Amino acid sequence: MEKRIIWRGVLAGAVAGLLAFLFARIFAEPQIQQAIDYEDGRDHAQETLNAAAGIPAHEHADPFSRAVQGNVGIGVALILFGAAMGALFAVAYALYLGRSGRLRPRSLALLVAGGGFLGFCLVPFVKYPANPPAIGNEDTIRQRSGLYLLMVLASLLFLVLVVWLGKRLQPRFGNWNATLLAGAVFVVATGIVMLLLPSSGELSANASLHSATETPGPLTDPTGRIVFPGFPADVLFSFRLYSLGAQLLLWATIGLVFAPLAERLLAPGPRTAGLVTA
């Protein structure tokens, strides 16, 4: 039974990854291209300043073209990512199956998908939002990746503990009040972790390469004259909005696709039930 549930999760995740790719290709990819164009223009301006100062230029070459990266690369990556998230979703679903009281398989699927979006995406996104190319200090990328992973693990751990706490509080306070209390504990716990962890801007500021906002400011020459503008705020906002939208679409699709598959597997119709009884 568990294997059949997991394979259905992988299938739902792959479908979700495909839809997330189509969404990202239409909405997020143009923002990525604008960010890359900005980075190329800024690099060209920096090389001009370096040449005037007698500093030799450095050549940068990407092993894959933008067409490959923006189509095949992101498409394969999102489908594989969706399949992996679908498998993890199915494992969590199987663990809670039978421990969720009177919840129907379809309702449980939607709740687990909502928890996956909250733990894997929304909570970490609040602390460490997604950045397009040209944003972020290359010297702190390992630190930022490690902190993001830590935020994901903390949010998932808190979700598990909150579910356990809600069940413990339910007999005393009732279902609604227990849910509110457990949710408040989750908000407080994640808020404390967010306050304790440094922001990406603080890491960049410590590296003395970017401002505390992390967003590249205007590029100036030795006289202080602006030779290239700062990173466009509207591109940053749009990219983050569409990145979050792609994740929401992915997890919503996982739940909506998996739900009827689980319902058919775990709650067969009258005709199937009659055959099994006979």
Tokens of 184: 């408040």
Contact 244, 95 (CB under 8 A): no
Confidence of residue 247 (pLDDT cuts 50, 70, 90): very high
Q: Burial letters for 106-143: b for 16+ Cβ neighbours within 10 Å, e otherwise?
A: bebbbbbbebbbbbbbbbbbebbbbbbbbbbbeebeeb
Tokens of 63: 């092993």
50-101 confidence digits (pLDDT tens): 877 777 766 655 555 555 566 677 889 999 999 999 999 999 999 988 777 6
What average pLDDT does the segment 178-203 reach? Answer: 90
Confidence (pLDDT) at 89:
97
Instruction: Tell me the whole-structure pTM to 2 decimals.
Output: 0.86
With the CA atoms of 94, 95, 101 and 107 taken in that order, what torsion angle do they form, in degrees rounded to the nearest 10?
Answer: -40
Instruction: Output the CA–CA distances (angstroms, integers) from residue 71 to 13, 66, 68, 77, 226, in the order listed.
Output: 19, 8, 5, 10, 35
Confidence (pLDDT) at 277:
36
C-alpha count within 13 angstroms, C-beta hemisphere, residue 95: 10
Q: Tell me the pLDDT of the chain averaged across its residues.
A: 85
Confidence (pLDDT) at 71:
67
Tokens of 232: 């466009």
Tokens of 211: 């401002």
* 101: helix, strand or coil: coil
Nearest Cα residue to 86 out of 248, 242, 255, 266: 255
Token look-up 């972790």 returns: 193
What average pLDDT does the segment 253-273 reach? Answer: 78
C-alpha count within 13 angstroms, C-beta hemisphere, residue 187: 6
Confidence (pLDDT) at 66:
55
105-127 confidence digits (pLDDT tens): 889 999 999 999 999 999 999 99
Confidence (pLDDT) at 14:
97
Confidence of residue 2 (pLDDT cuts 50, 70, 90): confident
196-229 confidence digits (pLDDT tens): 999 876 765 565 444 455 678 888 888 888 888 9
Higher pLDDT: 273 or 244? It is 244
Q: How far is Cα 102 from Cα 90, in angstroms, rounded to an integer?
A: 19
42-52 confidence digits (pLDDT tens): 888 888 888 77
pLDDT surpasses 50 at 270: no
Neighbours of 9 (CB within 10 A): 29
Contact 253, 15 (CB under 8 A): yes
Confidence of residue 261 (pLDDT cuts 50, 70, 90): very high
DSSP letters spanning 113-149? HHHHHIIIIIHHHHHS----TT-S-GGGHHHHHHHHH
Instruction: Output the CA–CA distances (angstroms, integers) from residue 198 to 76, 83, 139, 192, in the order listed.
Output: 32, 31, 15, 12
Q: What is the percent of the chain where pLDDT is above 90?
A: 53
Confidence of residue 266 (pLDDT cuts 50, 70, 90): confident
Confidence (pLDDT) at 272:
39
Higher pLDDT: 240 or 135? It is 240
Nearest Cα residue to 88 out of 198, 175, 176, 12: 12
